[in-house]
């Protein structure tokens, strides 16, 4: 197949022939595997976003997302440390699942930051998403369980430039139809986190400019996460980077060298933040609770955007992405159709170890969400 018909998703393509005698759970499905470090890449080119060709396809798992979004494969694998499954899924209008931290083995995967590294996956069909998850997570088939509560953090959705009738209201109406409105709960997550995670004060001092256009406690959470990520990246790769001095693309080069220069101070505080935040979020969600979030705070950025113009967008995105990242909870990005010809999504987060519950919930909700998306799209036209 010519590259123009493959959206630049592949570096190499080949066929693995399965054993004809075995009827395994994923028999007959085509798939792709992540093999590139960054979405916009000076060495291999940028995969074309099948939903919006003039927009970026996402982060380092964007080739995997593009392959699914363009219907070249049924599912694909990616890694998600800071958001590289969730963000491409959102940008390409498909399902993307980041599992609970350590739930899927990372054996054989080059580490970036072990405290956050996960192996996730993409699909267009929630049934396929669930099947792949059960294989990777070694899960038995279990009946869906009704969620005890769906939490809508109003401050988090206020960060998004997408209208509420295309995000939260689609979810709210779907939940009301399937489970009843009594399980919906509205909160101000930033205030809750500030109260329950006192160690974040360390990252909220000094008048951080980012806090003025963000949720201060979540901006601090993002700062703690990024500091620990850089420190772990440095421990994993500093020797190779300083010895080889590889030809790195713009943007990527600056981030890698900043990581190499990361000091060791405050790392203990980062671990304290992790522990306090996981405990706080576990208490908030209780046993079968769900936290809804914008996957990203707006439209996919245009290709070759000036990084300075994306500063606020990136800061808000990292604040949202750090919630599952720091807690180690599982998160799924669900497509919500198109708004102004660009893909829209919403995320659901469940507590650590609740992957099967979350996968089943997506499968239960998906058709109703699609119906509500259709109504919202017709209403806005």
Active-site positions?
34, 60, 84
One-letter-per-residue 3-state SS of the chain: CCHHHCCCCCCCCCCCCCCCCCCCCCCCCCEEECCCCCCCCCCCCCCCCCCCCCECCCCCCHHHHHHHHCCCCCEEEEEECCCCCHHHHHHHCCEEEECCCCCCCCCCCCCCCCCCCEEEEEECCHHHHHHHHHHHCCCCCCCCCCCCEEEEEHHHHHCCCCCHHHCHHHHHHHHHHHCCHHHEEEECHHHHHHHHCHHHHHHCCCCCHHHHHCCHHHHHHHHHHHHHHHHHHHHHHHHHHHHHCCCCCCCHHHHHHHHHCCCCCCHHHHHHHHHHHHHHHHHHHCCCEEEEECCCCCCCCECCCCHHHHHHHHHHHHHHHHHHHHHCCEEEEEEEEEECCEEEEEEEEECCCCHHHHHHHHHHHHHHHHHHHHHHHHHHC
- Listing from the earlier edge strand, what are the strands of the sheet with 330-339? 31-33, 75-80, 118-123, 95-98, 330-339, 342-350, 289-293, 149-153, 184-187
Helix axes of 355-380 and 126-136: crossing angle, nearest 10 degrees:
160
**C-beta atoms surrounding 135 within 10 Å:** 12
């Amino acid at each position: 197949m010519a590259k123009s018909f493959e959206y630049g998703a592949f570096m190499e393509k080949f066929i693995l022939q399965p054993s004809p005698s075995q009827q395994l759970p994923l028999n007959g499905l085509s798939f792709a595997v992540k093999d590139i470090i960054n979405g916009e890449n000076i060495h291999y080119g940028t995969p074309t976003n099948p939903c919006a060709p003039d927009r970026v396809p996402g982060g380092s798992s964007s080739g995997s997302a593009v392959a699914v979004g363009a219907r070249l494969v049924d599912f694909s694998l990616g890694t998600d440390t800071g958001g590289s499954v969730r963000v491409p899924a959102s940008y390409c209008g498909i399902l993307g699942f980041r599992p609970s931290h350590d739930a899927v083995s990372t054996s054989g995967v080059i580490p970036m930051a072990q405290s956050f590294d996960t192996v996730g996956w993409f699909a267009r069909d929630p049934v396929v998403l669930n099947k792949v998850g059960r294989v990777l997570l070694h899960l038995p088939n279990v009946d869906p369980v009704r969620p005890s509560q769906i939490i809508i953090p109003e401050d988090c959705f206020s960060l998004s430039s997408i209208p509420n009738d295309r995000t939260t209201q689609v979810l709210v109406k779907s939940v009301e139809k399937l489970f009843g409105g009594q399980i919906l709960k509205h909160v101000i997550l930033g205030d809750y986190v500030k109260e329950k995670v006192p160690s974040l004060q360390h990252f909220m001092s000094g008048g951080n400019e980012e806090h003025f256009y963000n949720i201060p406690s979540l901006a601090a959470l993002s700062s703690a996460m990024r500091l620990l990520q850089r420190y772990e990246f440095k421990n994993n790769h500093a020797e190779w980077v300083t010895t080889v001095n590889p030809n790195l693309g713009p943007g990527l080069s600056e981030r890698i060298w900043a990581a190499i220069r990361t000091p060791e101070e405050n790392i203990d505080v980062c671990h304290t933040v992790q522990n306090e935040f996981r405990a706080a979020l576990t208490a908030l969600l209780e046993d079968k609770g769900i936290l809804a979030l914008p996957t990203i705070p707006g439209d996919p950025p245009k290709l070759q955007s000036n990084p300075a113009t994306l500063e606020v967008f990136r800061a808000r995105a990292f604040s949202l992405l750090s919630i599952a990242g720091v807690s180690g909870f599982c998160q799924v990005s669900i497509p919500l159709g198109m708004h102004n010809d660009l893909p829209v999504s919403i995320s659901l987060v469940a507590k650590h170890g609740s992957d099967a519950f979350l996968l089943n919930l997506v499968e239960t909700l998906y058709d109703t969400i699609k119906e509500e998306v259709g109504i919202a799209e017709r209403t806005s036209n």
